[in-house]
Structure 1
Amino acid sequence: MSADHSGSLRPLAWLPIRPEEIEDLPGGLEYAYWNGGPDYPGDPARCAFYCVPYMKGPAVETRPLPLMSGLRVVQALTAGVDNLLPEMERLPSGARLCSARGLHDASTAELALTLTLAALRDIPGFVRAQDAGEWRPVFRPALADKSVLIVGYGSIGAAVEDRLAPFECARVMRVARSARTAARGPVHPVAALPELVPDADVVILTTPLTAQTRGLVDAGFLARMKDGALLVNVARGAVVDTEALLGELESGRLLAALDVTDPEPLPAGHPLWKAPGVIVTPHVGGPSSAFLPRAKALLRDQLARFVLDEPLRNVVAAAV
């Protein structure tokens, strides 16, 4: 598969996975490998389908975009595309931005449940006791019989509920942008949060970051949470007001388990690192062994649709 033949009439696709490692890629395209390195694999102006490198940071991911004058598709490998949306105004007219909705459902939902159980049962405390060679039996809350509120009931939120099912929760409440009925029950609109939050023992955030959800979990939201409740964030850090959360953690009233933070990466010395009652993981909801096979399957499908001029999946925006 050639990286760049200027005489070719075939559209060029840049992929962050080596093309020879993806079985059954559709014909009719040229493929080039670029995973964020300093050198491009050819002329960016020839790229028609750009799959953004995964977890390389906005500066790297968006660097070739101004040079891609022939671009028709930007394919993210993340469920959230908040870092790419501002670039749309600089893309060629008609270029479409596609998210990776569904790609990270299993892995992120798995981490959400891991963080929930670890925080409730104080697994970090037991690990610290083990490091000190101390036997410290304590009574901790179980997930069983708890009420759980999932804020952002899309595909990841639904996957979280699937994994909660065996844990004998007393109630699972669902919130999304608008009301609807899902397979497991009613989904409430965001406007219902003030009534739902006080009933939740665990609040799990899986919402995308938008203008509407930025700072959604503010001081008022946190104040409505019941004493001893747990906030789990596997969405985006900026959904939560960090200063307001720190106040609740330092008072000991709430617990938190955060895979994402604001700021991110969390700087050394930031108060969140040492706040009581918090677990911090470094945005690892997606990167697991589940990522690569699902990323390859997504690319096979999207590229086949692109070649056949069929509707693409997960189109978030189009350049004007």
Structure 2
Amino acid sequence: MTNDSQISTVTFPDRELLAALEPLPVGVRGAVWDLRSAPIGVDLDDVDAVVLPYINASEVLGELGRVPHLKLVQTQSTGYDGVREAVGETVAVASASGVHAAATAELAIGLILASLRGIDAAVRDQQEGAWRPQRHLSLADRKILLVGVGGIGKEIARRLQPFEVELTRVGSSARDDADGHIHGAQELVALAATADVMVVITPLTEQTHHMINTHVLAALPAGALVVNVARGAVVDCDALTAEVLKGRLKCAIDVFDPEPIPADHPLWTAENALITPHIGGNTSAFYPRVVKLLKKQMEAFARGKVPDNLVQRGPFA
């Protein structure tokens, strides 16, 4: 690590997170900055790295421009959309890859099961005291199209194995790995034509914005289920809404564009829609796992090593 990449002073969004990491390794100093008020215990001129808040981080990204010697930004989320644009290419960006993998994979499986097995409809029936048994689809024997093969995608695939599904995976480019073939994104329309369930778990980038577009959605068979646990804008949400309101597709979504979904949006009352409020990684598993990651990052800073999970290398190039 060069002097240009040496990190000595790190800010944390709240006192509780900093306390969970103390004592910090020798050579690393911590301070508190929530990016909404003045930092506590440090001048911004001295800050080398900033740990973003977990919730609503996108609302405060503009404040990063106030840090004149910023070298690294650490997210507490797997996604990092907007962060690189906010800081420019000279600043490193590290994600919380791995922290949310188990929890988000759990939710993806839960949304699939709830939608296919009609649990959402049963909850509505319960409010009326109505007993309406029906024959629903089983997850067993379904053809699953998994769009995204990163850390969370791998965990979703692993959890799907016991359910006896036919799994097809899609990545940015076609390749093979230890688990078989990964199709390229350019094959999405053709692959969608035979999918019963499409699960979206790919990062939001310029390349993946509206990756699941009108053409992909139109290619899905009638009755297919779209599950989005990635970022809202990976899917053309207007096009998805239109398909769901027509009754041609079903959706089970944890994310949307925009968020929060407007109160008068028709998807709220659509029978074929199941909505959770962006809670994929926000479980009891989050805090101990993010603390573990941050401890590892602080040790890397202290030892002059390159930190983990860099999605933009900045001074570590």
Could you say whether these structures have the same fold, taking a TM-score greater than 0.5 normalized by the shorter chain as the test?
yes
Helix, strand or coil at the partner of 2:86 = helix
What does 1:109-258 correspond to in 2, within 5 Å?
109-169=105-165, 171-258=166-253
Of 260, 264, 271 in structure 2, the residue corresponding to residue 269 of structure 1 is 264
Unpaired segments ≥5 residues, structure 2? 1-5
Is 1:105 the counterpart of 2:104 in the alignment?
no
Helix, strand or coil at the partner of 2:134 = coil
CA RMSD, 1 decimal: 1.9
The residue number in structure 1 matching 2:39 is 40
**8 A contact 1:18–1:33 mirrored in 2:** no
Of 80, 83, 95 in structure 1, the residue corresponding to residue 91 of structure 2 is 95
What's the offset of the Cα at 1:104? 0.9
Letter in 1 for 2:213: D
Letter in 1 for 2:73: V
Cα distance in 2 for partners of 1:189, 1:128 equals 39
The residue number in structure 1 matching 2:3 is none
What's the offset of the Cα at 1:182? 2.6
Letter in 1 for 2:45: A
Letter in 2 for 1:201: D
Could you list the per-position Cα deviations for residues 44-80 of structure 1 after superposition, in whole angstroms to 9, with x for gaps in the alignment? Answer: 22111211111134222x2431221122211111111
**8 A contact 2:48–2:70 mirrored in 1:** yes
Could you list the per-position Cα deviations for residues 133-156 of structure 1 after superposition, in whole angstroms to 9, with x for gaps in the alignment? Answer: 121111110100101010011111
Q: Which moved more, 1:34-43 or 1:230-239?
A: 34-43
Structure 1 pair 185–10 and aligned structure 2 pair: CA distance change class (3 A) = closer
Cα distance in 1 for partners of 2:7, 2:74 equals 19
Q: TM-score, normalised by structure 2?
A: 0.92
The residue number in structure 1 matching 2:67 is 68
Cα distance in 2 for partners of 1:74, 1:10 equals 11
**8 A contact 1:97–1:318 mirrored in 2:** yes
How many matched pairs? 307
Letter in 1 for 2:67: M
Unpaired segments ≥5 residues, structure 1? 1-8
The residue number in structure 2 matching 1:297 is 292
Structure 1 pair 256–239 and aligned structure 2 pair: CA distance change class (3 A) = same
Cα distance in 2 for partners of 1:23, 1:182 equals 40
Helix, strand or coil at the partner of 1:18 = helix
Q: Which moved more, 1:93-102 or 1:224-233?
A: 93-102
Helix, strand or coil at the partner of 1:74 = strand
Helix, strand or coil at the partner of 1:199 = coil
